[in-house]
Amino acid sequence: MADHLDLHTVGDLLHHYPRRYAERGELTRLSDLPLDEHVTVVAQVADARVHTFNGGRGRRLEVTITDGSGRLQLVFFGKGVHKPRAELQPGTRAMFAGKVSVFNRKRQLAHPEFKALGAESGAEAVEAFAHQLLPLYPACKQMESWQIQQAIDTVLGPVGHEETALAGLVDPLPDSLREGRGLATLPEALRKIHRPATKTDIAMARDRLKWDEAFVLQVALARRRRADAQLPAAPRKPVPDGLLTAFDARLPFTLTDGQRRVSEEIFADLATDHPMHRLLQGEVGSGKTMVALRAMLGVVDAGGQAAMLAPTEVLAQQHHRSITEMMGELAEGGMLGGAEQGTKVVLLTGSMGAAARRQALLDLVTGEAGIVIGTHALIEDKVQFHDLGLVVVDEQHRFGVEQRDALRSKGKQPPHLLVMTATPIPRTVAMTVFGDLETSVLDQLPSGRSPIASHVVPAKDKPHFLTRAWERVREEVAAGHQGYVVCPRIGDDIGDEGDAPKGAASPSPEDEAEKRPPLAVVEVAEQLIKGPLSGLRVEVLHGRMQPEAKDDVMRRFAAGEVDVLVATTVIEVGVNVPNATAMVIMDADRFGVSQLHQLRGRVGRGSAAGLCLLVTDMPEGSPARARLGAVAATLDGFELSRIDLEQRREGDVLGQAQSGVRSSLRVLAVIDDEEVIAAAREEAAAIVADDPELTGYPELRTALDALLDKEREEYLDKG
């Protein structure tokens, strides 16, 4: 149990809540059983027969069970026949669990686990059985639902005496809060969630347990906000008529209202004497980089330095290129032809040559370079700053807490921090995951951005749609534009950054499309060059190429010397080629919703309209097709992030997927429980303001320590 379900203590077991409850009638819809899934059913044995085969040497027990809504066959072979043959006599009622398969076009359970429920006698017993709420627990092959229930029953003791077993529990909710909100005590909630008499019991238990999760988490975040607010920082106020003013004057366009508003929020934070901790989230292409650059220039004006951390070398080079282009002679401070108020903008990545690297390090330590853009190479010990004032982290979720702290420690005082994410985050998730950061939202696209038309291309159902997709790419190239083809993998013989796309939902096993490996860049590029895109200039880009080769391909693509770039998701974030108008995403069902939205944001960045084609082999009506349909139907990233979250469940939100941490959300649903989260945040803020060390709340401290085990704290810090 410990290994498979991560349950190690009695407490873990008590907090392993039922996934759902079934009344007898609900459980036994034998007609509705899903294929290839582990199920638990309650039914009555209608018939049981032993058949022999192989000249009498082999034995097979076939048991037919029914519940009035349908019939299902169970099969047992060999030595596994004896126990069920003795226990599963016609008329026996039992719980059965196993994986639903098909044999001779009929659904069956092969060698299911089972537990007889005892013969009911008398109307009362039957009635009690009929209406009993049976808890069904998140289970696995090695530990079925009722085995978990048996373990919990052992812990809780006899019915009616649970209070004794639960007496020593630490209750994290202060009495005043619990009573003020009319919530159940913890022992009562645990008894009712595991042994409910009515559906009202379940609702009451869940309401209480949701508060536990929301409140303890919000206290942790409130304490972190408070600790950050205590740190000293140097205020950074831009000087009038300095670098920022000169930069604004040379902009060929006006900032959007959103960019202005967010800039004001950032400059107000930078002017204070404690470090800014702000999350800047915005739609793909909403101009976050422009806002971040203006903040960096303001800090340089105030005598400090700014560092921008990007997750990949491709992205660091791209940022460096676009920022130096936007700044023009302002990025050539101290050089011939450089502007008087200018500064130096340097790039620092792991693959730079020794001489260039030495010069970049020198420019940083002397303060000659006001702005540095780089990958995690920026965090290495030998990198020293003259006066680091602001750190901008692009695509925050790819940086760990140690990295953030390492960079922060390079300032004389903690630098201000601006975190940018292009994955729009629903408000509740921002409150829950990024609750220690102030949030700014850019939800307007700058003028000049073009609409993107998105379509699903069902390659298997309608092969001619795929043929047409390649024709559309050719048409875009003929019109003087460029395109991307995105694949989930690099190639069979090469290790791969794209094998398991982030947030990708695995399609249901019955779909044949899932049975083949995901399409790979190297093979797809070869097929396109020989086939539908022959004659066009097609190049590949993926994470295993040498940095110089990657940069060379990106430069040539940006310069218009490459017509079609066949790439992995290395192009997902920040790549900006306004002339690229078409994108074909192969095996689009292998990517998550937010990732598809990110990828799509690479086209339509100029004056010509964008086109995004989502190619899939998934059949109509499958969840994967529905997901792709949702992406094609809206360009609203906030709406898509809600869909993504609902589909992936919240376990991922709090890092279960990323860090394997046990304390993921169990009953709290980030999307549905907005009111609980908002109320818990207020209660937590009040308690932490009143008693920062929680000396008056020893139980809450204990619960916090359990929540913030080492790994969990790191994950929260990443937020």
CA distance 32 to 70: 9
CA distance 432 to 164: 35
CA distance 304 to 297: 9
Instruction: Give the pLDDT of residue 180.
Output: 93
Nearest to 106 by CA among 67, 148, 62: 62
Instruction: Give the pLDDT of residue 648.
Output: 58
Distance of CA 119 to the CA centre of its chain: 48
Looking at residue 46, the DSSP 8-state letter turns out to be: E
- The SS3 of residue 65 is strand
Question: 3-state DSSP helix/strand/coil percent for the chain, to nearest 5?
Answer: 45, 20, 40
Looking at residue 329, the DSSP 8-state letter turns out to be: G
Burial class (CB in 10 A: 0-12, 13-18, 19+), 37: exposed
- The SS3 of residue 381 is coil
Q: State the amino acid at position 551 in one-letter form.
A: D
Q: Strand 71-77 vs strand 58-66: parallel, antiparallel, or unpaired?
A: antiparallel
Angle at 551 between CA 601 and CA 593, to 5 degrees: 25
CB of 150 closer than 8 Å to CB of 174: no
CB of 270 closer than 8 Å to CB of 298: yes
Give the chain's largest Cα–Cα span: 100
**Residue carrying the six token digits 């975040």:** 221
CB of 408 closer than 8 Å to CB of 650: no
When computed from its CA atoms, the radius of gyration of the chain, rounded to whole angstroms, is 30
> Which residues, including other chains, have CB under 8 Å from residue 4's CB and lie 6 or more apart?
140, 142, 143
- Paired strand residues for 42: 95
To which H or E segment does residue 187 belong? helix 186-194
> 416 phi and psi, to 5 degrees?
-70, 155
- Paired strand residues for 394: 420
CA distance 554 to 561: 10
Q: Which strand ranges, in their side-by-side order, compose the sheet holding 369-374?
A: 344-348, 369-374, 305-309, 388-394, 416-421, 277-282, 438-442
CA distance 499 to 491: 9
Q: Which two tokens stand for residue 342?
A: 């200018």
CA distance 718 to 628: 29
CB of 640 closer than 8 Å to CB of 594: yes
Beta strand spans in 254-343 (E)? 277-282, 305-309
Q: How far is CA 679 from CA 426, 432, 654, 676, in A?
A: 17, 12, 19, 5
CA distance 150 to 169: 20
CA distance 265 to 269: 6
Residue 109 Rama label (left phi>0; alpha psi -120 to 50; beta): beta
Residue 444 CA neighbour count, 13 Å, CB half: 12
**Residue carrying the six token digits 């899934």:** 37
CA distance 598 to 596: 5
CB of 401 closer than 8 Å to CB of 422: no
**Residue carrying the six token digits 């190479």:** 377
- The SS3 of residue 49 is strand
Burial class (CB in 10 A: 0-12, 13-18, 19+), 182: exposed
Crossing angle for the helix pair 199-230 and 698-707, to the nearest 10 degrees: 90
- The SS3 of residue 346 is strand
Nearest to 187 by CA among 203, 163, 170: 163
Angle at 21 between CA 17 and CA 26, to 5 degrees: 160
CB of 671 closer than 8 Å to CB of 208: no
Q: Which two tokens stand for residue 166?
A: 């639960």
CA distance 361 to 346: 9
Residue 672 CA neighbour count, 13 Å, CB half: 9
Nearest to 22 by CA among 116, 112, 98, 96: 96
> 542 phi and psi, to 5 degrees?
-155, 170
Residues in the chain, pLDDT under 70: 1-5, 23-29, 38, 118-132, 141, 284-285, 334-339, 395-405, 407-408, 428, 433-434, 445-449, 491-516, 572-575, 645-666, 670-671, 708-719
CA distance 628 to 616: 9
Q: Strand 369-374 vs strand 113-116: parallel, antiparallel, or unpaired?
A: unpaired
CB of 408 closer than 8 Å to CB of 419: no
DSSP 598-667: HHHTTSS-SSSPEEEEEEE-PPTTSHHHHHHHHHHH---HHHHHHHHHHHH-GGGTTTHHHH--S---SS
> Which residues, including other chains, have CB under 8 Å from residue 634's CB and lie 6 or more apart?
640
